[in-house]
Amino acid sequence: MKLINFLLNVIWLLFCGLWMAIGYALAGIICFVLIITIPFGIASFRLAGFMLWPFGRTTVVRADAGAPSCVGNVIWLVFAGWWLAIGHIVTSIPLFLSIIGIPFGWANLKMVPISLTPLGREVIRTDDGFGVR
């Protein structure tokens, strides 16, 4: 299974992962420059790493995520989230044009909700199981 995840991650990295990770890193840099939005930058960099190597990992909502994460996600959605969601949609379109790219296009579309609400989430390995830290 690790070999399959490795191969899927390499293909993902070449066709859309690198470009999406650059988008998340750019959003993170802008958030760090604005100082008050540093928590958004941290979330953006966490998701940039996830975009580079997503197979074998997933995101889960943190149990301690509360009202501040909800408010932060609304702010994120307005200023950066919808740009990244559009990026996922646009990069999924060429992937759907080839037989091999269809699963990667679906994976890209599954990341749209993550791009819209990154706060209060954490990235875990799928072989760890849910709730294991």
Annotate 52-102 with three-state secondary structure. Answer: HCCCCEEEEECCCCCHHHHHHHHHHHHHHHHHHHHHHHHHHHHHHCCCCCH
Q: Answer yes or no: is pLDDT of 115 > 70.
A: yes
Mean pLDDT on 21-37: 93
- Structure confidence at residue 2 (pLDDT): 85
Domain of 14 in residue numbering reads as 3-125
Q: Answer yes or no: is pLDDT of 129 > 80.
A: no
Q: How many domains in the chain?
A: 1
Looking up tokens 């072989």 gives 127
- Structure confidence at residue 125 (pLDDT): 87
Mean pLDDT over the full length of the chain: 89
- Structure confidence at residue 62 (pLDDT): 87
Q: Is residue 53 part of a domain?
A: yes
| Percent of the chain whose predicted confidence (pLDDT) is above 90 | 62
Q: Is residue 11 part of a domain?
A: yes
How far is Cα 66 from Cα 58, in angstroms, rounded to an integer? 20
Q: Is residue 131 part of a domain?
A: no
Instruction: List, for residues 38-97, the tens digit of each pLDDT value.
Output: 999 999 999 999 999 999 898 888 888 889 899 999 999 998 899 999 999 999 999 999
Q: Is residue 47 part of a domain?
A: yes
